[in-house]
Chain A
Amino acid sequence: EDKVVQSPLSLVVHEGDTVTLNCSYEVTNFRSLLWYKQEKKAPTFLFMLTSSGIEKKSGRLSSILDKKELFSILNITATQTGDSAVYLCAVEVGEDSSYKLIFGSGTRLLVRP
């Protein structure tokens, strides 16, 4: 059965800290790994990774994928209170034209001023 595991489940930091969120997976028919931010309603897209070793960056956020060890990390530097949210890791699985997302449980991040 396809499985995505995130750690830690929750994290409390102070503004300015750097955080690392982890995602490991065991799936068949891997297509891509995606990170989302969820602040109460719809998950919003952050990154998509398909190849190992290529770091994706967007401002203070960055992510990297290791397809050999089957994990990804999401880094957030110089955290701000606006970064407080649940961060979801999802693996897209499937073949041909049929695919879907398998999510982890999420990491709840709270950034205190």
Chain B
Amino acid sequence: DTGVSQDPRHKITKRGQNVTFRCDPISEHNRLYWYRQTLGQGPEFLTYFQNEAQLEKSRLLSDRFSAERPKGSFSTLEIQRTEQGDSAMYLCASSWLGGRGYTFGSGTRLTVV
């Protein structure tokens, strides 16, 4: 598989629980991005890694959100103490040189009940 993989595809959790999502980028890509997309909106930037370094975090990202990319390969996004407002599609993308080279995963749809 040469695409970007995300796991799980769907997650339903109770408010207050912690959740973790995984993204496996295209192996040659050194850049990895997390976006959040709510219904009727475009993807919103959350954070970005170049190799294992987290270079930018959106100031909209609360301290309940944390992301890692150990060894510059796969990445995890954890949300602690989930709230109903966290319900969204979480998209991962990877890139080597940007431009036309962004490849998106199919996303993890989170529903907080």
Contacts and interface: CB of A to CB of B under 8 A. Distances in A.
Interface of A: 4, 6, 9, 31-32, 34, 41-45, 48, 88, 90, 92, 94, 97-106, 108
Q: Main SS of chain A's interface residues?
A: strand
Nearest to A99: B98
Given A34-B102, A103-B35, 5 more contacts: A34-B99, A45-B100, A48-B99, A92-B99, A101-B93
A98 B41 contact: no
B44 A103 contact: yes
Contact of B43 (A41, A43, A48, A97): A43
Given A99-B98, A100-B33, A88 B107 contact: no
Interface stretch (B13-21, B48-56, B62-70, B79-87): B48-56
A100 B40 contact: no
Nearest to A107: B42
B72 interface: no
21 contacts: A9-B40, A32-B98, A34-B99, A41-B107, A42-B91, A42-B105, A43-B43, A43-B104, A45-B102, A88-B42, A92-B98, A92-B99, A100-B33, A100-B45, A101-B33, A101-B43, A101-B45, A101-B102, A103-B35, A106-B42, A108-B40
